[in-house]
A and B are shown apart, each in its own frame.
Chain A
Amino acid sequence: EAGVAQSPRYKIIEKRQSVAFWCNPISGHATLYWYQQILGQGPKLLIQFQNNGVVDDSQLPKDRFSAERLKGVDSTLKIQPAKLEDSAVYLCASSQQGLNNSPLHFGNGTRLTVT
């Protein structure tokens, strides 16, 4: 089974610029997550989709971050404008049902550096 695909692997931008990340989940997985992992910390959930609807975006800084999952498959996460504190690895994950019993399958992540 193909894993969760993410691109790009690395991105370096200047503060106030915009950036977008792309994620393709495992085929058939209804739930898609975007996590932010700052160096030395655990992943923090930014947004959770069930098919193409948002289940949880309580920790998404909505003044600068946006995410969409058109057609319930691929997803994009955008930051505009970026701040220095956005430097982190952005992990996409998917699971089969989004219920509490479903393990998360993570992609390799996008490492963002904001200078």
Chain B
Amino acid sequence: GQQVMQIPQYQHVQEGEDFTTYCNSSTTLSNIQWYKQRPGGHPVFLIQLVKSGEVKKQKRLTFQFGEAKKNSSLHITATQTTDVGTYFCAGAGGTSYGKLTFGQGTILTVHP
């Protein structure tokens, strides 16, 4: 079945440093979504990428979808303590009701 892998598993940064997490799928995706889960909270939707090579920005966050639609990345510029949490990518398969498969997440800690 479809597998979605994320690296790194953990990332510790000093406030102000940049952060990147990478997501790779074993199969071609129809779209990929990114979620953020704060400690003790539930996943919250951040963004969806659909097109090959798509790049989207949300303030300090930049999301990319690979040309082959099998990988994606999330880059945070100048991290802040409010960025702390686990970032998940979730890939959807090709069918209209394709199952959304989550990666294992990258846990980000930011030291002030």
Interface size class of B (residues with CB under 8 A): 20 to 34
Interface size class of A (residues with CB under 8 A): 20 to 34
Contact B99 A100 (CB under 8 A): no
Among the stretches A12-20, A38-46, A64-72, the one at the interface with B is A38-46
Q: Which of A33, A41, A56 contacts B104 (CB 8 A)?
A: A41
Among the stretches B13-21, B44-52, B58-66, B74-82, the one at the interface with A is B44-52
By a CB distance below 8 angstroms, the chain B residues around A48 are 97, 99
Q: Give 12 CB contacts A-B under 8 Å.
A: A40-B104, A41-B104, A42-B88, A43-B88, A44-B102, A45-B99, A50-B97, A55-B97, A56-B99, A100-B96, A105-B45, A106-B42
Q: Which 7 residue pairs across A and B have the least CB separation, nearest first?
A: A42-B102, A103-B45, A106-B42, A100-B92, A42-B104, A55-B97, A43-B102
